[in-house]
Amino acid sequence: MDGEISQLMEMGATLAQAKAALKQYKDVMEAAEAIFEGRFDNAKDDDGDVDMESSKPIKAVKRQASESEDEDGSADEMEEDDDEDDFVDYDSDFGETIDKGNGVPDVDPYAGIFYSKERREEVIEIEEEPELYTPTGTNTPLKLLTQGQWMKGCPEKGEQGFLFGLYSQLSEPDFNCPHDCGAKIQRTRGDFFALHSDFLSYIKRLRSVARGKCTRCHSEVCLACREPIGAEKGRATSSSSDPLFHCSDLQGLILGVGLTMLEQVFQDQKEETADSGEQSSRNSKRRKTDSGGDDDVPSVSGIFSMSSSKKSKGGIGYAGDQKEDNSGQIEAQNAQRSKDEKLGKFLGALRVFLPNLHRAGGGQSSDYLVHPTALVHVRRRFNHVCSTLLRNDSLTDMSDRSVLYFELLNWLETISNHEALASMMAMPIMVVASIKSVNTVKSSGQQKGTIRERTIIYEGSSSPRELLEGLAIQARAAMKGLEGNKPQETVSEELTEEQKRMTVEANAKEAVQAQNLSDESQKLLNFCRRILGTIKAIDRSLREVKGDAFVDRLHSSLPKISTTSSESDSKAYRIDSATSDEMTRKIYTDWSMSARFEYCDLSIPSATISEDEPPHYKFFFDAEARTLANSDIPKRSLAIAKELAILTTNLPVAWDSSIFLRVDETRVDIIKALIIGPEGTPYQNGCFLFDIFLGPSYNQSPPNVKYMTTNGGKYRFNPNLYADGKVCLSLLGTWSGPGWISGKSTLLQVLISIQSMILCEEPYLNEPGWASSAGTPQSKAYSANVRRMTVKTAMLGNLKAPPEPFRDIIRTHFRLKAKSVSAQLDDWVRKDDGKQTVGDGGSLSRDSGTVNNGLPKDVEELKGHLQKLQESAK
């Protein structure tokens, strides 16, 4: 019985209501429904007094009040009851003591902020059959928002109490006139909770019925808060004739219903896009990789074709004269634009009702006294839409959809500008991880049919501010790309590499402004500035509300682009014999994530080159790069800007295989790539280097790519990787087949194609004439030969003489994976056929005799280097 009482009280019932309802109903849900219908509003406790409120919502209300401050800046006082079950303690009142350097200790009141995304919550959600309501003057029945929908997605017990309380209050059919004239004022639940076809229709209807008149004393009353119109709740700087701004109850209602409608529109659009994608896939004659609707998300379509589910007979990049099908692209773009406009207008109309002390004409009543349910709805429902949109990997796609994303940024700024909402920018977003169970039960009382109880597991995910930082990284990279080729700056020798980088970045904005940008470039630049401006505004608001220490801790947890991959930094990622395999994988992935993209100086210092002459680069395409020094090609700069935005946050990193990129800090068209051979292939854990140059006609034509791990031009590692460094891919125009698509294909697409399709499990099949020889002795001998070359050159050779600028990357890669690599080497020695290593594996003969090919010696030497790496990290 006590457990059932507690469950009802967590839903917002009072102790007296819970006891009375459970005496009459055995089932908790039946009791809850009866309480919700108002049958136990006058329930009394054992001593005869009416128990007006549950203790838990009271504490939660006080806790919520701590999110805002009084007008004079002092925080609201709180009771000293710290029962952790009553609310989530996001902010600690007992913070760390901080010395600001002036000898006076200061207290950080938010030192205990809950940042962890490991948090899990379990909550029971109810799905009921919605009732129908026909508004006066219409013949169209509308569905009513059910209590289950109203409370959906809320894992916090205290918040559930707020939501339950407001829904119950607004569902009461009448209430006493506040002037004590003895009359009852009637109202209809459907006027509050009817789900109209669009938000503006809902607002128009609510505005017309939000106020009522007493039939006896003729006084005007707000039907939401039940207070006289002349006694506005809260502190308003100006009066408003709009009845929807009278009280915080209306604010909570509008945001709850509006965000429910927004979420449904957003979900419908996603499902429509998914259905359209499935239909397009069914109609396609070739296999394509789904890009999720983003033009810039890398796809391997266009690399090779599949006429059926069987393996292509043409090898990698040898697909004949098939063409990329671009039909329907304009239609899809127009459809997406229409959806974005609809969603953007919805967000704009709903943003009007967010708490905002800076609105035109001054703050309204609800702007000062924010209803707790408003905070709950914004954090639950808007954060879901927000996080989905901000996880878009393509800055260019977001810029093209600026009608939606500019409004999204307006929302984030409005939220961050209010002291009661600002903390949400740093809080982890709770998302559905799984559905634990689903039970169907019969409903009781007035409602007919059945209801479903679903036990949902929620997990923490990235906060809005963290998601924005990922976009900021892309935005800064795009702005750097828009600079074009800059002349080499003369920098004082006293400056460190970090200071050099900061000097370059400080001139970025000025350099971009000095260029005559195209309309498309200017559009992208404006969008990048808008992102960075929003982030600056959010951080400024958080500093004002939460303090510098809070924001500094937040910044330390945000994703970053590495400014240096020095070995001293890499040693922060340590493992030892006691480190579990799971933790080792995590440490390796975290390190890869932090080091995958970096700007650095790729030029060769020389005392013989004059100041007017461009520098040389340790780079295969040095001559081509010097020819384009100080060039200004706007289309090329825009293409490079888009490319850098993608590469900064989308390079794949994993235990199995990763891609690392180094871009020259003043010549962003000069790039070096390192691809770690994928697990399960004869390239596994080898380090394969490529020089990449984005030529004068990029992105109208593909990049220039040269393979550098060739053992001095002796080894051909794959039918598509020649000993002279040629990379054979139709994407690069080095073979017939679906090729580079101007404005759509990307360098990331090329890199992933090399990683997944060239450095593959059975490279013998990449040769057109051998494509049907899977599992044959020839194929196995070819893979064994590749393994020997990988050990000698891509592993041992690169570890003994690590090529710049990947020295620390290569050493850290082998240090963190030493145990795994050792086991891999032992397996390769067992599998080896003992034949002589042949530089061009295509000349292997089945009848060649067994010889001492040097693999055991190379493996033994490599293990010795692995041991030294591990010892040096201790």
Supply the residues annotated as catalytic: 728
Cα gap 259→350, rounded to integer Å: 8
The residue assigned the tokens 């070995």 is 567
Contact 387, 378 (CB under 8 A): no
Contact 57, 36 (CB under 8 A): no
Contact 560, 470 (CB under 8 A): no
Token duo for residue 336: 């997406």
Q: Is 56 helix (H, G, I), strand (E, B) or coil?
A: helix
Cα gap 470→535, rounded to integer Å: 11
Cα gap 748→139, rounded to integer Å: 56
Sequence-ordered list of residues with C-beta below 8 angstroms from that of 488, at least 6 positions apart, any chain: 603, 614, 615, 666
Pick the closest to residue 744 from 798, 801, 699, 794 (CA basis): 699
Task: Determine if the peptide bond prior to 614 is cis (ω within 30°).
Answer: no
Contact 172, 223 (CB under 8 A): no
CA 583 to chain centre: 23
Helices and strands, number each (H, E), in the chain: 30, 18
Contact 471, 531 (CB under 8 A): yes
Contact 142, 133 (CB under 8 A): yes
Contact 678, 710 (CB under 8 A): no
Token duo for residue 66: 């701590």
Cα gap 141→131, rounded to integer Å: 10
Token duo for residue 309: 């589910």
Helix (H) or strand (E) holding 597: strand 597-600
Token duo for residue 694: 């984005």
Phi, psi of 153 (to 5 degrees): 80, 10
Contact 797, 852 (CB under 8 A): no
Report CA dihedral (225, 229, 233, 236) to the nearest 10 degrees.
140
Q: How many CB atoms lie within 10 A of CB 343?
A: 21
How crowded is the C-beta side of 242, counted as CA atoms within 13 Å?
A: 17
Cα gap 414→352, rounded to integer Å: 10
DSSP summary character for residue 99: E
Cα gap 459→436, rounded to integer Å: 13
- Which residues are paired to 222 by β-bridges? 211
Cα gap 497→600, rounded to integer Å: 8
- Which residues are paired to 120 by β-bridges? 459
Strand pairing category for 597-600 and 659-664: parallel
Token duo for residue 154: 């809320």
Cα gap 441→234, rounded to integer Å: 43
Cα gap 423→67, rounded to integer Å: 8
Contact 738, 725 (CB under 8 A): no
Contact 733, 740 (CB under 8 A): yes
Pick the closest to residue 155 from 127, 125, 121, 126 (CA basis): 121
Q: How many CB atoms lie within 10 A of CB 837?
A: 22
Q: How many CB atoms lie within 10 A of CB 333?
A: 14
